[in-house]
Amino acid sequence: MTLFEELKWRGLIDNVTSPDLEEKLNQGGMTFYIGTDPTADSMHIGHFSSLLTAKRLADHGHHPLMLVGGATGFIGDPKASGERNMLTKETLEHNFHALHEQIERVFGFEMVNNLDWTKDITVIDFLRDYGKYFNVNYMINKETVKRRLESGISYTEFSYMILQSLDFLHLYEEKNCTLQIGGQDQWGNITSGLELIRKKHGNDVECYGLTMPLITKADGTKFGKSESGTVWLDAKKTSPYEMYQFLVNSEDAKVIEYLKRFTFLDKEEIDRLEECVAQEPHLREAQKALAREVVTFLHGSAAYETALKITNALFKGNIRDLNADEQRDALNSMEKRSLQEPMDLASMLVTTKIASSKREAREWIKSGSIQINGERVKEETLMIDPSHVLVDDMILVKRGKRNYYVVSLTRETE
């Protein structure tokens, strides 16, 4: 397959600004950029596919520029739900340096910051040299603005399109950057940048835009949220074990799509895994491959092996075989229930709402369905107290084969 054919097969092309881009991509040698604003101090799993697309282009001989928007971060890209909260200069600076380190370490891309070329632009310069090229009717018909017209949009966020267009213009002029890539929600901003370049340098300029489809779950909702929140690429915010669990629980209906977008596995291997999903979905071989590839790429093989060790220990009920850090990692990823004081097992199950009634709790205990820290318990009068704390203030409760809970004993015995 050519590069363009592979991108299409992997489902990574939503739209392109010109059919000529196909040949350009296949030839290699383009300088392109992908951008993100420092709204957090880590990228998340939703960014990962876009970054991998940039790496696929880099591996084919193109030169990537990673723009972290030190300037556009002050403004905020309009979102459908309403105005963004303005971040402080200190927060943006912290986030910028964190993202710079993360992206450079994981991907090795050349980094650029749009604050470098916008911080000295005066209001008059902005209006005369750039704003003059933007028709208001054109701007309000862009999807990112149109979806906010009824609820209202500030001039600050309305002007974001101009700032991002200025980025493409600057990188074209200073680094011969002729391609911008981004998610499909960036189509309006990308095409606006192309228009600005053409108005400044003529219609025969060879510059392009490419957007990638947003990644969703089977129900159409946004991909990248676990029960505990956003799945981050930073191991301190989402541990390799938590990421492994998130990915290994991917839906059968979506896992092949995720394998195409999130891994470098070839077509032959992904076709084999697709057959496994169809014939033996209970083995979850495709999900395990997805989790292995992503965790290893981001955090290394040792982190993947630790994630696998924790997973296997929990499955076999051998939580005590893990060291304290591994136990903490496992328990922090689970749903937590608070227990204010020691009490008998049956009462604890009801108080923490693991069981709906004392009768249900007693039935579970009697049938051997309840485990405490990996050990089956059949005594409903067993006192759950600080002696049962596994690590920190946490006690692991398992019901049946798949239901795990962490009970946090927040107050010790008088």
**Residues 292, 263: Cα–Cα separation, whole Å:** 10
Report residue 85's pLDDT band, with 50, 70 and 90 as the boundaries: confident
Distances (CA, A) of 317 to 92, 385, 388: 44, 21, 15
Domains in the chain (CATH in brackets) are 3-212 (3.40.50.620), 225-332 (1.10.240.10), 336-409 (3.10.290.10)
**Taking all residues of the chain, what is their mean pLDDT, rounded to a whole number?**
92
Res 411: pLDDT: 59
Report residue 349's pLDDT band, with 50, 70 and 90 as the boundaries: very high
Is residue 174's pLDDT more than 60? yes
Res 147: pLDDT: 80
Res 317: pLDDT: 80
Res 223: pLDDT: 87
β-strand partners of 229: 226
225 is an annotated ligand-binding site residue: yes
Res 414: pLDDT: 41
Is residue 194's pLDDT more than 50? yes
pLDDT in tens, 227-261: 668 899 999 999 999 999 999 999 999 999 999 99
33 is an annotated ligand-binding site residue: yes
Of 9-23, 60-74, 295-309, 397-411, the range with the lowest mean pLDDT is 397-411
Q: What is the DSSP string of 85-144?
A: PPPPHHHHHHHHHHHHHHHHHHT-PEEEETHHHHTT--HHHIIIIIGGG--HHHHHTSHH
Is residue 268's pLDDT more than 80? yes
Question: Which has more pLDDT, 335 or 184?
Answer: 184
pLDDT in tens, 99-112: 999 999 999 999 99
Q: Which two tokens stand for residue 55?
A: 């790496």
Q: Which residue in 144, 167, 157, 166 sits closest to 66, CA to CA? A: 167
353 is an annotated ligand-binding site residue: no
233's enclosing H/E stretch is none
Mean pLDDT of 260-287: 97
Mean pLDDT of 317-322: 88
**Residues 367, 360: Cα–Cα separation, whole Å:** 11
Mean pLDDT of 81-108: 89
Q: Which residue in 21, 12, 20 sits closest to 53, CA to CA? A: 12
How many helices (H) and strands (E) the chain has is answered by: 20, 15
Distances (CA, A) of 388 to 20, 343, 384: 66, 12, 6
164 is an annotated ligand-binding site residue: yes
391's enclosing H/E stretch is none
Res 228: pLDDT: 67
